[in-house]
Structure 1
Amino acid sequence: MRYERFVALGDSCTEGLDDLQPDGVYRGWADFTASVLAQGNPRFGYANLGVRGRRLDQITVEQIPSLESLRPDLVALFGGGNDLMSGGYSAAVLARRVDAAVRAATSAAPVVAVFTLSDISRRMPFGWRMGPRIEALNDAVRTSAARYGAVLVDVWADQAVHDSRYFGPDRLHLSTLGHLRLAGHLLSALDEPFPSSWLSPLPGQAAPASLADHVSWLRTQVLPVAYTRVRNRLIGRSPGDGFTPKRPELLPLQ
């Protein structure tokens, strides 16, 4: 299918963390997807409304209403990770948020793609708590995709989650290679051609992390994030407050 108006919705992964470019702008899976869809398509336009830290309920009220004016023929919605780490987590609340977001998005666009999460629990502090939450999110995404006719990009079983080369310094956000792989999964689900290398196994093996690596990760990545989340909760701020979408308008790719 020839898509001409592509809008990406979501959180930091949609924004493109940790695929940082020399100009200080994050790229990511949505940009890679747009670069493929734009080939030979002079009328193609792409908007990216993703903002770091956003939960699904925030995406529903802050980003999805823009679809009415943007009039996309393809929407990709990646979210839910911040809901899993929010205080007062509830599987029932999460399921309602997923349902509301997918229902609203599919009401505004003819084709909507939604994503499960791979099993990143082993990469997280207190991962034993996060594993069941990720499974609950994925179950809700699968149910809502079937209910509203969304395209399901199911990466739960992707073994690439165990290769550190697909992840950035915090071990959670995707590296450039990880974003390329996620774009490959999306384009495959849409039955669109893409470079086969995006889903090909990486050569060799990732170097194992040393004790010093783990200590550095805790000191420079985990503890600062934990401190910021606690501070924001105390003062009533959300992690993404003050940030705006990098591509709020449908624009052609350079």
Structure 2
Amino acid sequence: MTDGRYTRYVAVGDSQTEGVGDGDDLTGLRGWADRLAERLAVTNPELRYANLAVRGKLAHQIRTDQLDAALALRPDLVTVLAGMNDLLRPNFDPDAIAGHVEAMFAAFAATGAAVATLTFPDLADNIPLARPIRGRIAVLNDRLRAAAARHGVIVAETGRHAVATDPRLWNADRLHASPLGHQRIADAVAEALRLPGADDSWTRPLAPALPERGALRTVADELHWAAVALGPWLMRRLRGLSSGDNREAKRPQPLPVRIAAAPA
């Protein structure tokens, strides 16, 4: 970082960091990391940005596949987001997951780069079937906070604010952020990094408040979600497939950032 401005930003992670839910594979994905890079580029037009994230990856895969590649790019800012896919697996091991994430924290921090991460919101608020894993989220968040504290990693506490589970911030699959959700995440990280003009407005509730859903509407919504999101996800698990199979990072090299004309 020179004169308070980051010059090389590298993002590592899974589908959230790749930008799933914000655009599509035909027109291109944007996502919170791209939105954060655009904000950084306003301050420093010379910024170079790489995004190594690939959907479907577990924490140990992100460490194995992305850590060395990210280090080779010599970033002065890194964002690390890993563990969401692990939360949904039957063999969930918070110590092992946090261990992989902490190894990345340590490696990046040792270079002198600023490192930032996020905490996870409670999925069960939007996915009733996820209620049995509600305790997992709190446990993993605690592990990640402790690991971040040991290495001076900046934490954007997206998991502690009620607005994070507003359905309007989530895609129809309820696992990936919507464009508005990705923008809120970018704003959260910007505040955590103390970027110029950043504030806590991302924590504020959306207006107007959503009306209460009736029982019939709730059942209909859950059946629709099970058909379009849960079913395909379960089929991939049963077949031993991942949404990230045969996919490569969308932005493997640090490139100049084009600032969107009208951010959503």
TM-score, normalising length: structure 2: 0.88
CA shift digits 1:210-239 (9 cap, x unpaired): 23222111111111111111211xxxx444
Q: Is 1:50 matched with 2:58?
A: no
2:226 aligned with 1:222: no
CA deviations on 1:154-213 (whole Å, 9 max, x unpaired) are 122111133110000111210011001001110000000346665543221235552322
Give the 3 Å change call, closer, same or farther, for CA 15–159 of structure 1 in structure 2: same
User: Who is 2:135 aligned against?
Assistant: 132
Secondary structure of 1:224's counterpart equals helix
Would the aligned equivalents of 1:11 and 1:52 in 2 still touch at CA under 8 Å? yes
The percent of aligned pairs where both chains have the same amino acid is 38
Return the alpha-carbon distance in structure 2 between the equivalents of residues 221 and 132 of structure 1: 23
* Cα separation, partners in 2 of 1:24 and 1:167, compared to 1, 3 Å: same
Q: Which amino acid aligns with 2:117?
A: V
TM-score (normalizing by structure 1): 0.91
Checking the alignment, whether the CA contact within 8 Å between 2:80 and 2:116 is kept in structure 1 is: yes
- 2:122 is aligned, of 119, 130, 136, to 119
Structure 1 residues 74-129: Cα deviation after superposition (integer angstroms, max 9, x where no partner) = 00111110111224222332232232232223234520001110112232353232
Q: Is the 8 A contact 1:118 1:157 kept in 2?
A: yes
Which residue of structure 2 aligns with residue 242 of structure 1? 246
1:6 aligns with 2:14: no
The structural deviation recorded for 1:146 is 0.5
Deviates more, 1:208-217 or 1:39-48: 208-217
* Equivalent-residue separation in structure 2 for 1:253 and 1:95 (angstroms): 31
The one of 147, 172, 175 aligned to 1:144 = 147
Residue 31 of structure 2 is matched in structure 1 by: 28
Give yes or no for contact 1:17–1:28 (8 Å, CA) kept in 2.
yes
Q: 1:231 aligns with which of 227, 231, 239?
A: 239
Give the letter aligned to residue 247 of structure 2: F
- What is the CA–CA distance in structure 2 between the aligned matches of 1:22 and 1:170, rounded to whole Å? 16
Does the Cα contact within 8 Å between 1:98 and 1:140 map onto a contact in 2? no
CA contact (8 A) 2:57 2:244 kept: yes
The count of corresponding residues between Structure 1 and Structure 2 is 250
Q: Which runs of 5+ in 1 are unaligned?
A: none
Contact 2:22 2:178 survives alignment (8 Å): yes
- Trace 1:100-111 onto structure 2 (pairs within 5 A): 100-111=103-114
Structure 1 pair 161–140 and aligned structure 2 pair: CA distance change class (3 A):
same
Aligned to 2:262: none
Alignment RMSD (CA, Å): 2.0
Aligned with 1:253 (options 242, 257, 260): 257
Pairing 1:14-93 to 2, within 5 Å after superposition: 14-20=17-23, 24-93=27-96
Alpha carbons of 1:200 and 1:154: their partners in 2 closer, same or farther (altered >3 Å)? closer
CA–CA distance in structure 1, aligned partners of residues 121 and 165 of structure 2? 10
Give me the whole-angstrom Cα distance separating, in 2, the residues matched to 1:146 and 1:12.
Answer: 25
